[in-house]
């Protein structure tokens, strides 16, 4: 189990996370990434997926905490 957050103050809207892991991240009308409703806590393979997206984010806007 891990919690997933996006810091919209850091996000630059390049859509990398949403393209990599659309089950966890989505782009909203403001052009920034958000965690999909209901995915604020993830389990199993989704933890690794969230971490991969966090590693790929160029501005470290994705926070994954176990
Ligand atoms: S990868 Fe980072 S900067 Fe890019 S959209 Fe996702 S949170 Fe924003």
Instruction: Assign residue 31 the CATH number of its domain.
Output: 3.30.70.20
pLDDT digits (tens, 9 = 90+) for 34-66: 999 999 999 999 999 999 999 999 999 999 999
Print the domain residue range for 36.
2-65
Q: Whose CA is nearest to atom 2 of ligand 1?
A: 57
Q: What is the pLDDT of residue 5?
A: 98
The number of C-alpha atoms within 13 Å of 12 and in the hemisphere containing its C-beta is: 7
Q: What is the pLDDT of residue 59?
A: 98
56: CA distance to ligand 1 center in Å? 8
Give the whole-angstrom CA distance, residue 10 versus residue 43. 25
Tally of structural domains, the chain: 1
- Is the minimum distance from the CB of 39 to ligand 1 under 6 angstroms? no
Q: What is the pLDDT of residue 40?
A: 98
Q: What is the DSSP string of 30-48?
A: TS-EEEPTT-SEE-THHHH
pLDDT digits (tens, 9 = 90+) for 3-32: 999 999 999 999 999 999 999 999 999 999
Q: What is the pLDDT of residue 55?
A: 98
Q: Pick the atom of ligand 1 nearest to 56's CA.
A: 1
Q: Which of 6, 11, 31, 39 to mutate to test the pocket of ligand 1 (most atoms within 8 A of CB)?
A: 11
């Amino acid at each position: 189990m891990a919690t997933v957050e996006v810091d919209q103050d850091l996000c630059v809207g390049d859509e990398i996370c949403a393209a990599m892991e659309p089950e966890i991240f989505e782009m909203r009308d403001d052009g920034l990434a958000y965690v999909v409703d209901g995915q604020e806590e993830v389990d199993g393979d989704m933890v690794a997926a969230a971490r991969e997206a966090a590693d790929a984010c160029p501005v470290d806007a994705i926070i994954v905490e176990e």
